[in-house]
Structure 1
């Protein structure tokens, strides 16, 4: 009887040792939150390709991000081998909408090879706020930045990791509409988002308070202001933070009641049409000196027609326009809104950008794209369509440890990313994850620089609509220009633009 008892004791001691090791380590939130049991996730992950190939699904069937896309982000964040062997397993010839980037054999522009540089300097070609002469206009140091995700939706450790990662990678970090918390103050430069609830800049009645906004801007490294009209996850609906996520700290930051569902209105109260919105934009710019822009998903296009007509007069205007794809984002939403409200990114962005180009205004503001653009092929299509910068949201969550469990709306995120549960959030070590965020952002920039080199231009924002073709699902294809109805010459870099970009990048190439 002694042998079974000894074996059981040794097994229990071994499990206890593994549990202690998991609780102490800080690299993996799953193991820290679920000692011993969490190890199964990594074992299954190692044999995932075989399981999916013979039992479950292919590498490209999972949504919203395929297994291949997630694997690339995870490997990039850990600075592991993010190459793929044995050729593509995508159904290239028969997948409608599949992008093909066309490399050039010879090109006048021959950027230096940047195969191993994770800190490639890829600044914005345009100066944010420069066209309208804002006092604090600046050139963003990175074409890739972190999209708006609120503290409240995300945990304190996740926000801290992203802000520290933003500092390490030299990117801008959008606060999201939930206000500016202590967790946003770890060195990363900020874009402060003003949502319909005016969290962080509202009075006791919930109305916009300019004095509070100015105090907030003066207290943090805020570089620009973004007025959120709508977002891709739930356009036209407003937001909802469940009461279980409204902690005392979040209630204080937002100026709301603790433990009570926090609903953001679907529309602003500080303005009610394009004319009053532009008055609001100019007020914010005059009082703070910061560039001011708007973020919106794309539905009815009359808004943009009215905006262009007003902006063409020259006396008032936005400095940047963030277009969010209707295919959803970091926010939880009713299924109908996530699936069917607002245009997906490529269609919506093209409809808007082409209107500004038709009016001769495309060069007067910065266009920012968001909506699954944190993988290089999607990002390149966005640049070809006219984006100057891209924002990444869910991809940054993946870099910080998200496993696409899709429990963001339940407060039960197992990796501590999208929860206010203290036990789950404690598993996410902000120091370790901040490095992963920076690694991912740097790798994405590096790969974008590589693609620009292959195409023969000095910067990914100079990839033209004729440099990318879209497969039609059979054996044919058409250029981005043809698919989206761009006129010849639209978003095609001139020799002067190429020379200016080469000069800009010169000291860092």
Structure 2
């Protein structure tokens, strides 16, 4: 029998370690292991024993922020096509947590509601409204998915990440918002786009940084752009403008945006192409006329005078935006001062309801599409958004988690360990778009499935038909208040008009 010496044991250990290194560097399933061979396994080991450790010395499943471990685990399992169900009941503290939403299921089904045991993950869930239809845009269309990918720029996200999102969106009929960083080669892999015009006009600006309509027309005609979004502000840094740290500004980004390499790219806080609601509506109509595309706005909600004036000026129906994308103050960003991320702009539910009420009073809610963003990639949050009147939801950080983000919160440093929010080749090499596109597609299908399942439980065939009377907000075990009462909605608000319902129901019946 051969006797092992310390030297031979060390040699075997070294060989085994070398084998692990080779395996990790050549596999494509896990970006973390590809970028951090061997030591990356410790992260997965800690994750495996996390439930046991947290019982005694760490946080509970629901305490971590911005996304709890339960929320991340659901997204990860969904994106991998794994079992995303839970056992033994909820571990949420429903008895004591204020603000907890409860969906009120119905005993009997309503008009057109499915009665199958489970919603099919492959069933399409189109928007209830035709985007641009009420204003007669030449290229108006009905979005094929109520769940779409939020605005995340190439620059803030890596090229492999953008490509994975684009190809994944194409697989499930989603729209991908470009973010304000313009259209990159990574955006051109089959997915339909919403082109975002930011305050710096990247992709549609002249040599002096001013808006250039001709360049916009040329750009959107060169790519599968289905709509245009004018970004007024975003939830995590409203009134500040975008910020791309110089460490992320490589030659490709500099060329696409028209900026210097390696220099911090700070977008202005406000637009220069218009300066009030009146001129903004002129700008919207000019862009819509030149491109034929639906044109809308994205904004966080702060001072409400803007929304009062917008609803008032859209009243005559001679000018108007085709959609309003309300971004909650709890939304994400790659880089922002803490005070802006923490304390500027209303959170989604308050902000959205304030905006919706103003259009409802003016009788305009069927004239435009309402989009919501800000942690709405979780079914319970999305359902509240639909009940308040949203027609579609955009997912940002949830989409990032689906393609491999581990919530390291290093987006602003260019040291994202899994290659999602960085331009550093040291990390981006680990992210395989061919694998991650399926992760994004699986996640969107799972979210749409859950939205459809809960719609069936409420007795309706589409999440857009869930109204403010279908969800209560709990105050611990003391009281339950309906969304209609809580957000001061009048009868009929938060619901689709009769004409929109008549168009939608035949689509859902095949």
Q: TM-score range by the shorter chain?
A: over 0.9
Task: Decide whether the 8 Å contact of 1:113 with 1:450 is kept in 2.
Answer: no
Q: Residue by residue, what CA displacement relative to the aligned partner does 1:99-149 show, whole Å, maximum 9, x if unpaired?
A: 000100113333142626222210011000000000000000000000000
Number of the residue aligned with 1:86: 88
Distance of 1:496 and 1:100 partners within structure 2: 29
Per-residue deviation at 1:328? 3.0
Q: Which runs of 5+ in 1 are unaligned?
A: none
1:489 positional shift: 2.3
Aligned residue among 240, 244, 256 for 1:237: 240
Are residue 340 (structure 1) and residue 343 (structure 2) matched? yes
1:185-220 Cα offsets, whole Å, 9 max, x none, are 000000000000100111110111111111101100
Residue matched to 1:96: 98
RMSD: 1.2
Count of aligned residue pairs for this structure pair: 507
Structure 1 residue corresponding to 2:443, chosen from 435, 440, 444 = 440
Q: 1:261 to 1:495 in 2, by over 3 A?
A: closer
Q: What is residue 183 of structure 2 aligned with on the other side?
A: 180
Matches within 5 A, 1:399-414: 399-414=402-417
Task: Give the one of 21, 36, 39 matched to 1:37.
Answer: 39
* Matching of residue 224 in structure 1 with residue 227 in structure 2: yes
**Residues 115/74 of structure 1: CA separation in 2 closer, same or farther (3 Å cut):** same
**Which ranges of structure 2 fall in alignment gaps of 5 or more residues?**
none
- Cα distance in 1, alignment partners of residues 107 and 357 from structure 2: 30
The farther-off stretch of 243-252 and 491-500 is 491-500
Say if 2:128 is the partner of 1:125. Answer: yes
Taking structure 2 as the reference length, the TM-score comes to 0.98
Q: Match of 1:168?
A: 171
Within 2, Cα distance between the matches of 1:360 and 1:24? 59
Once the two structures are superposed, residues 443-469 of structure 1 have per-residue CA deviations (whole angstroms, 9 ceiling, x without a partner) of 100110000000001100110100000
Alpha-carbon distance between aligned partners in 1 of 2:295 and 2:485, rounded to the nearest angstrom: 33
State which drifts further: 149-158 or 38-47.
38-47
Match of 1:396 in 2: 399
Cα gap change, 1:497 to 1:199, in 2 (>3 Å):
closer
Give the alignment partner of residue 307 of structure 1, picking from 305, 310, 316: 310
Find the counterpart in structure 1 of residue 53 from structure 2. Answer: 51
Report the CA distance shift for 1:57/1:273 in structure 2 as closer, same or farther (over 3 A): same
Partner Cα distance (1:186, 1:412) in 2? 26
User: Offset of 1:50 from its aligned partner?
Assistant: 1.0
8 Å Cα contact 1:416/1:428 also seen in 2: yes
Q: CA deviation at 1:48?
A: 1.0
CA separation of 1:298/1:494 partners in 2, compared to 1, >3 Å: closer, same or farther?
A: closer
C-alpha spacing 1:13/1:215, structure 2 compared with 1 (3 Å)? same
1:210 correspondence with 2:208 = no
Q: Which position in structure 2 is the counterpart of 1:66?
A: 68
How far is the alpha carbon of 1:169 from its aligned partner? 1.0
Whole-angstrom distance in 2 between the partners of 1:158 and 1:496: 40
Range moving further from structure 2, 304-313 or 140-149: 304-313
Q: Choose 368-377 or 104-113, whichever is displaced more.
A: 104-113
Match of 1:22 in 2: 24
Q: What is residue 299 of structure 2 aligned with on the other side?
A: 296
* d(CA) in 2 for partners of 1:263, 1:254: 12
Secondary structure of the equivalent of 1:97? strand
Q: Secondary structure at the match of 1:372?
A: coil
**What is the deviation of 1:19?**
0.6
Deviation at 1:472, TM superposition (A): 1.6
Distance change (3 Å), C-alpha of 1:493 and 1:197? closer
**Deviation of the 1:492 alpha carbon:** 3.5
User: TM (normalized to structure 1)?
Assistant: 0.98
**Alpha-carbon distance, 1:488 to partner:** 2.1
How far residue 495 of structure 1 moved from its aligned partner, in angstroms, is 6.9
Judged with a 3 Å threshold, the aligned counterparts in structure 2 of structure 1 residues 72 and 308 are, in CA distance, closer, same or farther, namely same
CA drift of 1:49 comes to 1.0
Which residues of 2 match residues 140-179 of structure 1 at below 5 A?
140-179=143-182
CA 1:273–1:27 in 2, change beyond 3 Å: closer, same or farther?
A: same
CA distance in 1, matches of 2:497, 2:215: 44
